[in-house]
Amino acid sequence: MRGEIIKQLRTNRRIRAREVLVIDEAGERLGTMPLAQALGIAEERDLDLVEVAATAVPPVCRLLDYGKYKYEQSKKEREAKKGQRISMVREVRLRPKIDTHDLESKIRLAGKLLKGGDKVKVAVFFRGREITHPEIGWNLLQRISASLSEQASVERMPAMEGRNMNIILIPSPAKQSKEPRKED
């Protein structure tokens, strides 16, 4: 069903209980009655008998137009999805011996990703003996966070994880743009 989370409810003849508590379309209790009588009322009113609380004793059933109900639920779900923005963590990778122009290019890339509303993880990878000078990576990450301080705030300070040092930047709420991000 295209990723929708609409709960499938038992309707009409699929209801298994002998007796059900019936609620009409206006929300008033009609009382507990045998399933056959409840189905007769539903058919008489040209509505569906929908089991809304299967675990209750007796199960609660409602008289409603099931097709219309499902449509309203999917409509509510679409409206809820509209307001959501899925934020991804994008990664920018560096090496400790990066040249200044290359570093500026990586900073521009990180700024562009932050403007799109994504979190950015900046990682400095150490190879061989480079690991003996973690202060070089620390200085690089501090320089990047200082140059992006207007667009982003630091979510996680620089930390070593194995042979790499990471920092996570999140976009500043005032500077985020509403433009949709293109998928790579």
CATH number (domain holding residue 41): 3.10.20.80
Which are the contacts of 95, defined by CB distance < 8 A and separation ≥ 6? 124, 125, 127, 130
Q: Does 35 reside within a domain? A: yes
Strand partners, 164: 125, 161
- pLDDT (tens digit per residue) in 24-79: 888 888 889 898 898 998 888 889 898 888 888 888 999 998 888 889 888 888 88
Claim to verify: residue 70 and residue 118 sit in the same structural domain = no
Which are the contacts of 74, defined by CB distance < 8 A and separation ≥ 6? 4, 6
Assess contact for 110 and 148: CB atoms under 8 A. Answer: yes
The whole domain housing 73 covers: 12-80
- Residue 114 sits in a domain of what CATH number? 3.30.110.10
Number of domains in the chain: 2
Q: Which tokens is 65 given?
A: 């137009």
Strand partners, 92: 122
Q: Does 101 reside within a domain? A: yes
Q: Does 108 reside within a domain? A: yes
Identity (one letter) of the amino acid at 121?
K
Does the pLDDT value for residue 162 go beyond 80?
A: yes
Assess contact for 159 and 142: CB atoms under 8 A. Answer: no
- pLDDT (tens digit per residue) in 64-94: 988 888 898 888 888 888 877 777 889 999 9
